Structure 1
Amino acid sequence: MKQFYLIVLLLTIVSLSGFSQRFEGGVLVGLNASQVDGDNYSGYHKPGVALGGFVQTNLSRTVYAGMELKFAQKGSRNIDSLATDGQIKYIMRLNYVDLPVYLGIRTSERISLLVGMSPGYLISGREYNDYGKLTEQDQKAFSEFDLQGLLGFRFQFTKRLFVDLRGAYSVLPIRKQKGDPLWYWKSNQFNNLLSTTVLYRLDF
């Protein structure tokens, strides 16, 4: 984990020094609606927050490159009234440090198309059922690394205020199925995320 934070710090320093006077940045806050493909539930029923900062630079009049460093909550939640193998409650809580890197393509003065990749490091992963946290027998480890492709739109409301609408999906499994399926888990699992984020540009 210390190595990951060191890499993030070095990437940030290199990026800022490379941008020189041409970069801009600020803070961001958002809401995530997530699910995990590969469990026995469907729907974006797990809410979460996203908090962090961003930097970006113009590559041309219509294209810019950006990078973010943020804390992001993901996971899965069963809100069905029907039990699965006698279990009604299921919650998967995943906390990540994400480092999205993206290109923005301006389609008009106020709208941009975003496309990129978002590597992430798992800080914690926990699961709960009707009786609390899952036992060690049922709990299976998640991968520490997540890599998501992202696609979205950015809307500019003022000189400083922007809103992003994005979808992101894991390229690699966050957990591989081994052995017989469990009551909450049927196959390899992938993060599936929809997010709305507000970005506020600061002067440096």
Structure 2
Amino acid sequence: MRTMKKLLVVAVFTFIISAVHGQRFEGGLLGGFNASQVKGDLYNGYHKPGVLLGGYVRTDIAPAVFVAMELKYSQKGSRKKYDPKKPEENTYIMRLGYIDMPILAGLRTSDKISVIAGGSIGYMIQGTEYDNYGKFVVEDQNAFNEFDLQAFGGFQFDILDNLKLDLRMAYSLLPIRGLPGEHATNYYWLNNQFNNVLSLALYYRLDH
């Protein structure tokens, strides 16, 4: 895990430095938080918090249109919210960590606001589950898929010349895993589990 994080840091800075030296590109760092749930489990609601850290590059392709690519570490998963009225029920946490590479297009609708949409490829570097008794043993855990493909949309707001606020929602098109056998159905969207993530992040431009 530590090795993967070090590799991500090196990759992000290489990614940004290469872009910053390009005449038509801007690059920077991003950081923020996720609120996530897993569609297909029994715990509805964006109760699982997580961090996201990485870098981005972007360029204009028209006066009001830009494209961008990002590379980031993103924590996702699911969490059963504790109910004080039902203290006897088990707790549950699913912790997922991904290296994501989103590619997006944006449309400036005003001087301060842009609408964005795109897709993201992700590689899982961590997938664990916990309950009242601790971490699930391998035999008790339904295996996760390594790769994720998400579609997303959202907004970016210019706060300062070199600082933006990004708000987006993402939903997996590929399942993170299938449902356990006793819950299986014949329908793709009902037979699998999918990441569903709300994210809020700050984007700091380095080449300004």
Structure 1 and Structure 2 fold alike (TM over 0.5): yes
Is the deviation greater in 121-130 or in 132-141? 132-141
From 39, 56, 60, the counterpart of 2:62? 60
Q: Which residue in 2 is equivalent to 1:51?
A: 53
Aligned residues: 194
Q: Once the two structures are superposed, what CA deviation does each residue of 1:28-47 show, in whole Å capped at 9, x if it has no partner?
A: 10010000001111000000
Q: Which residue in 2 is equivalent to 1:34?
A: 36
SS of the residue 2:181 aligns to: coil
Residues in 2 aligned to 1:187 and 1:138: alpha-carbon distance in whole angstroms: 19
Residues in 2 aligned to 1:104 and 1:83: alpha-carbon distance in whole angstroms: 45
Q: Which residue in 1 is equivalent to 2:206?
A: 202
Q: Which residue in 1 is equivalent to 2:150?
A: 148
Q: Once the two structures are superposed, what CA deviation does each residue of 1:122-181 show, in whole Å capped at 9, x if it has no partner?
A: 001000011001133320110000010010000001110100000000011110125213
Measured on the aligned residues, the alpha-carbon RMSD in Å equals: 2.9
Q: Which residue in 2 is equivalent to 1:91?
A: 93
Whether the 8 Å contact between 1:81 and 1:88 is mirrored in structure 2 is no
Return the letter of the residue paired with 1:41.
Y
Return the letter of the residue paired with 2:96.
L
SS of the residue 1:43 aligns to: coil
Q: Which residue in 1 is equivalent to 2:169?
A: 167
Q: Once the two structures are superposed, what CA deviation does each residue of 1:37-88 show, in whole Å capped at 9, x if it has no partner?
A: 011110000000000100000001000000110000000000142899x752
Deviation of 1:20 after TM superposition, in Å, equals 3.1
Return the letter of the residue paired with 2:48.
K
SS of the residue 1:99 aligns to: strand
Whether the 8 Å contact between 2:142 and 2:180 is mirrored in structure 1 is no
Deviation of 1:26 after TM superposition, in Å, equals 0.4
Unpaired segments ≥5 residues, structure 1: none
Residues in 1 aligned to 2:139 and 2:23: alpha-carbon distance in whole angstroms: 54
Q: Which residue in 2 is equivalent to 1:133?
A: 135
From 161, 179, 182, the counterpart of 2:181? 179
Unpaired segments ≥5 residues, structure 2: 185-189
Residues in 2 aligned to 1:137 and 1:168: alpha-carbon distance in whole angstroms: 30
Give the direction of change, closer, same or farther, for the CA distance of 1:190–1:89 in structure 2 (3 Å limit): same
Q: Which residue in 1 is equivalent to 2:193?
A: 189
Whether the 8 Å contact between 1:51 and 1:72 is mirrored in structure 2 is yes
Return the letter of the residue paired with 2:194.
F
TM-score between both structures, scaled by the size of structure 2: 0.84
TM-score between both structures, scaled by the size of structure 1: 0.86
SS of the residue 2:98 aligns to: strand
Residues in 2 aligned to 1:52 and 1:145: alpha-carbon distance in whole angstroms: 19
Deviation of 1:187 after TM superposition, in Å, equals 4.2
SS of the residue 1:142 aligns to: coil
Q: Which residue in 1 is equivalent to 2:187?
A: none
Residues in 1 aligned to 2:138 and 2:161: alpha-carbon distance in whole angstroms: 51
Identical-residue share of aligned pairs (%): 52
Whether the 8 Å contact between 2:150 and 2:171 is mirrored in structure 1 is yes
Whether the 8 Å contact between 2:104 and 2:116 is mirrored in structure 1 is yes
SS of the residue 1:21 aligns to: coil
Residues in 1 aligned to 2:85 and 2:170: alpha-carbon distance in whole angstroms: 29
